[in-house]
Amino acid sequence: MSEGYKNTDDDIEEIIAQVNKYKQEKEKLFGEKDEAAQKVSTSVYDEQSTLSPEPMNKAQIADMIKSNLSDNDDDLGIVLTPPGAEADRVKAKEEPENDGSQSPEQDKQESKPMNTKPKFELDENKLRRAEKKYKSKKKGTKAKTAVLFIVGIVVILLAGAYVTGLVMTKDTFLPNTYINGVKVSGMTAEQAAQTIEANGNHLNKLVFLKNDGSSITIPYDKFGYRFNTTDLVSNELDGENNYLYFLNFFKDTKVEVNLSGAYDEEQLKEQVANASFGTKQPTNAKIVRGSDGKFKIEPEKEGTAVDINKTVNAAIAAVNSQTQNVDLEKEGCYLKPSVVSADLESKLSALNKIFDVTVELDFDYTTEKLTYDDIEDAFDVKDDGSYTISEEVIWKWVDGLRKKYDTLHKTRRFKSTLQGEIEINSQDDYFGQKDAIFGYMLDADETAKAIADAFKSGESTKMEPIYYHNGGYYYDTMGQVKHDKSDEADVITDLSRINSYVEVDLTNQTLWYYQDGKKVYECGVVSGLPTKERMTYPGIYQLWMKERNKKMEGRTTEGQYQSECSFWNYISVRSIGIHDATWQASFGGDRYTWAGSHGCVGVSYDSAQYIFDNIPIGTVVVMYY
């Protein structure tokens, strides 16, 4: 057996004594038994008695004690001092360090362990600190236990409160809930609906706002309106999440519901149709003539009458959307003018151009000017700016010019070859017409039309008068006579100013042709039989046209006649001409009184050819008795 195992029994006793001392100190400090220490005491004996023949040394006993004590018991001041440890500490303090002067043998000899008994010691300072730490730990454990207890109680109370609130809000509105401004917290859907309707937070009338500031009200009950408030409120209630009801304690939930319902649409239409919105019709913008003579636009004006269909539609839309007010102006319910100022701008400009138009008729030596003021009555200006021009009014103005300037069928003076100065009058023929067409005769219809077109164009113009014509025959003297200032008093009454003309003396049955004032040709004639139906009528004619191999035919009371000529020189409006009459045996004298024509002037073949070849179209033909 080794040195370390000597006196083992004594060591064990001493260890057990130390453990018991530790146990007593701990019980004294903390007032409780230490089961671990008791276990150590028992274990030391048990282990010693059950071990192998080899007894435990101090180190093994110490290990067993530490394994049976609690984890922190080493902090209580139990210090296991191995054999010789204390002697080593004392020797270390007394002896200097080995500086190498001693021999290893001496060291070995001197370091042999002392035969000192191992023991356990109690460190008092550590024991005090352990006491303080133990008490603090125990106090913390109690406080933690108290906190956990309180928390548990609170959790239980909160859970109970949550469940209670969940049950209470199952079929009612959550706290701080407002519908249409009415607080409905804790109410069922039916209670909330009754409260909302009782507080007047729903529409019960339709108000039409008029453009004059007044209004017309139609109560909902007039067209049988029934609200479905309960259904709408129930939908809101069903949409709530009552599992989070507690959040509503800290906020307000505000809901706006468009209360709607069912109603009789036909009754609503009838109510709107019978409402007194107004009867004044709108007036259109129009063009009027201002005090300055210029045209201007008179603006449109709105009335009070409404379009019933549009008003009914606006009313239905308002009721369906739960809108109380219907602004008749904004909804476009009022009847609108069909013509507004903007529509007339271009027409106003055109009218004012007409107002400035001047039409000037050129009568050679003078002009006649026509303005809007002269024929204002001819313009029929509509309110919408359109207009018409009455040609009849303009015709009357032109007819006044005819009395002043026309010379057709006037009595004229003429210096004849054989009879001297005579007066020539146009005479109606058998049919009540005048074949002689020399002179000026304005065509009032065409001139009036041309003047109207000039005004419509908006452009001032200067134009020639338009003279009357019948087919290809124009009543303008064919340029043979021009107006001049000397004709102002009595236009073209003196034919002596015509230098080139054909003269036919029906009494003397002779034809002369004067060119530039000189007689250049003369021949005999056979004129019409002196009866009303066949005679050649006096007057001033013109050579209008020429034709070869003319077939002449007609009818009188005596019957049908027909003949042909080689040279036809046409001088009248109807059917009088100067032509070759080869069937006549002679020309001149009184032959015409019994062998006269049907109104034409017959000459020999050569004379007819001369006139055809040498006398120009437009030459004046003066015939007289």
Is 499's pLDDT higher than 80?
Answer: yes
Beta bridge partners of 306: 334
Q: Give me the pLDDT at residue 51, please.
A: 43
Min mean pLDDT across 17-21, 43-47, 611-615 is at 43-47
The answer to whether 316 and 298 are in contact (CB under 8 A) is: no
Please determine, for residue 604, whether its predicted confidence score (pLDDT) is greater than 70: yes
For the ranges 503-507, 610-614, 616-620, the lowest mean pLDDT is seen at 616-620
Q: pTM to 2 decimals? A: 0.45
* Residue-level pLDDT at 30: 53
Residue 230: the pLDDT is 76
Q: Rounded to the nearest 10 degrees, how much is the dihedral formed by the CA atoms of 74, 79, 80, 86?
A: 160
Average the pLDDT over 335-355 and give the result. 84
pLDDT at 148: 85
Would you say residue 112 has pLDDT above 60? Answer: no
Q: How far apart are CA 166 and CA 156, in angstroms?
A: 15
* Beta-carbon-side half-sphere exposure of residue 525 (alpha carbons within 13 Å): 28
**Which pLDDT does position 267 carry in this prediction?**
92
- Judge whether 80 and 16 are in contact, CB under 8 Å: no
Average pLDDT over residues 414-435: 83
pLDDT digits (tens, 9 = 90+) for 574-591: 778 999 999 999 999 999
Nearest-angstrom CA–CA distance, 504 and 522: 10
Mean pLDDT of 301-315: 92
Cβ atoms 411, 494 nearer than 8 A? no
Residue 608, pLDDT above cutoff 80 = yes
Give the pLDDT band (50/70/90) at residue 2.
very low
pLDDT at 316 over 90: yes
Q: What is the mean pLDDT of residues 473-493?
A: 51
pLDDT of 119 reads 47
Residue 556 burial by Cβ neighbours in a 10 Å radius (0-12, 13-18, 19+): middle
* Dihedral sign, Cα of residue 111, residue 115, residue 120, residue 125: negative
pLDDT tens string 536-573: 999 888 888 899 999 988 777 777 888 999 999 999 87
Given a cut of 60, whether residue 455 has pLDDT beyond it is yes
Q: Which residues pair with 559 in a beta bridge?
A: 556
CA distance 274 to 598: 86
Q: What is the pLDDT of residue 238?
A: 77
How many angstroms separate the CA atoms of 218 and 205, rounded? Answer: 6
Instruction: Write out the H or E segment, with its range, that includes residue 602.
Output: strand 601-603
Confidence of residue 226 (pLDDT cuts 50, 70, 90): confident
Task: Give whole-number Cα distances, 168 to 178, 184, 187, 586, in Å.
Answer: 18, 14, 11, 147
Q: How far apart are CA 45 and CA 12, in angstroms?
A: 8
- Of 97-111, 183-197, 259-273, 383-397, least confident by mean pLDDT is 97-111
Q: Give pLDDT tens digits for 257-280.
A: 766 678 899 999 999 999 989 889
Is the predicted pLDDT of residue 466 greater than 80, yes or no?
A: yes
Across the range 369-393, mean pLDDT stands at 82
Question: Residue 120: pLDDT band by 50, 70, 90 thresholds?
Answer: very low
Task: Give the range among 47-61, 120-134, 467-481 with minimum mean pLDDT.
Answer: 47-61
pLDDT band at 607 (very low <50, low <70, confident <90, very high): very high
The confidence band for 490, taking pLDDT boundaries of 50, 70 and 90, is very low
Domains of the chain listed by start with CATH number? 3-122 (no CATH), 169-276+303-336 (no CATH), 359-411+435-487 (3.10.20.800), 495-624 (2.40.440.10)
CA angle 282, 286, 291 (to 5 degrees): 125
The DSSP string of 253-282 is EEE-----EE--HHHHHHHHHTS----PPP
Q: Nearest to residue 595, comparing CAs of 615, 609, 581?
A: 581
pLDDT tops 50 at residue 179: yes
How does residue 14 score in pLDDT terms, banded at 50, 70 and 90? low
Per-range mean pLDDT, top range of 156-165, 238-247, 371-380, 467-476: 371-380
- When the pLDDT of each residue in the chain is averaged and rounded to a whole number, the result is 77
User: Mean pLDDT across the stretch 8-16?
Assistant: 59
Q: Label each residue of 407-474 as H, E or C.
A: CCCCCEEEECCCCCEEEECCCCCCCCCCCCCCCECECHHHHHHHHHHHHHHCCCEEECCCECEECCEE
